[in-house]
Homo-oligomer: A and B are copies of this chain.
Amino acid sequence: MKVVGIIAEYNPFHKGHQFHLSRARELSGADYVIVVMSGNYVQRGTPAMFDKYTRAEAALRSGADLVLELPVPVATGSAEYFASGAVKMLADTGIVTDLCFGSECGSLMDLQKLADILAEEPEEYQILLRKYLKEGMSFPAARAHAVKDYAPDLASDLLDAPNNLLGLEYLKALKRLHSTILPHTIQREGNAYHDTTVTDGRSASASGIRDSLMKSQGVFTDRILQQLPFPELYKDYEGLSPVSENSFSLPLLQKLRALQDQPLEQYFGVSAELSNRIWNRLDEFSSFSGFTDLLKTRELTRTSVSRALLHVLLDVREYKPASVFRVLGFRKSSAILLKELSAHGNLPVITSLSQAGIPPKELYADHLYESVRSLLHGRPFQNEYRRKMLVI
């Protein structure tokens, strides 16, 4: 049995994702597709615009056989933590044989070569890296220059693209785990991640779709709908303020006020320096995103700040890989996968939270998400304990 794994956020699930899903199956010749997906919070250090069940359902309807949820510290970790936690989860299944990820370059050979250099750091490369660092370059710049000198045949912009970087981390993680999972990459079609426009006839990025929805204040225009494989999944969202980090401004501010002047290094991803900056600038807080902008520095990216603030808000103290397989949904026709997962996986399979005896603290992040959403959208609260796994 061949099973291909996909690591995803699907925020929201668009036609580019649909294309990737079917290409992954073809390319790997897999019988089944398992997706490990972020839950209600994503890697940019923000809440997802669409709840995890909506996103999982879109994936299942588009051909995914099983969707597992990445735990919050993995889903909201830096690229290295994210990749490491997601790859470990796929490896822990015991049944995933292949991994297929999107990249800007589309060349597994190039990425593998680069990953080997970065993971092994050969002597010659190290000398180059140190030289450029001594010249005063930032680490990413010095690394790019050292790679260019060491392996001039590699495209020089490999390290400039976010999906290439994530792909490199997947490859490094596979290597670190001595995994037999076979990697594949698919060149991303359509707009680049940073291109936030939604254009007729081309695939938009998830980021472009989110930006369009922010601008339209939650109205799903025809252009947006064209990008979404199952538009009917979003009827609960139509015309309502999109969930964004700024929907969490007051909760974040309240949490910070409650902790005021305590050291925040106890939270995942918060340095002593950032903790000080937070307390020094707290009176200028005007929104989650505004505060993130205030705190970022040349050394500390906006995204790292956002992740750190999110970890304070959600009470995430440390990185922890998944300790269970949380099943968001599966295709009835692929129910065999769940049995295989129980038989071969390294972690217990959770299909019902109330039966699994998970304490409320573990579900705080989800309950906060649904609390904010219920007040923002004036809709009933969805209790995570009572949510049923999706069966398509």
**Chain A interface residues (CB < 8 Å from chain B):** 249-251, 253-255, 257-258, 260-261, 283-287, 315, 360-361, 364, 367-368, 371-372, 374-375, 378, 380-381, 383
Contacts and interface: CB of A to CB of B under 8 A. Distances in A.
A254 B381 CA distance: 13
What is the copy number of this chain in the assembly? Answer: 2
B258 A381 contact: no
B249 A367 contact: no
Given A249-B375, A261-B360, A360-B261, A254 B383 contact: no
14 contacts: A249-B375, A250-B372, A250-B375, A251-B254, A253-B375, A254-B254, A254-B368, A254-B371, A257-B367, A258-B315, A258-B364, A284-B381, A286-B375, A287-B375
List 9 tightest A-B contacts by C-beta distance, closest first: A260-B360, A251-B254, A257-B367, A283-B381, A253-B371, A261-B360, A250-B250, A283-B383, A257-B371
Given A258-B368, A261-B360, 5 more contacts: A249-B375, A253-B371, A254-B368, A260-B361, A283-B383
Contacts of A315: 258
A381 B250 contact: no
Interface of A is mostly: helix
Contacts of A372: 250
B251 A251 contact: yes
Contacts of A253: 371, 375
A285 B381 contact: yes
A249 B376 CA distance: 11
B284 A367 contact: no
Contacts of A380: 283
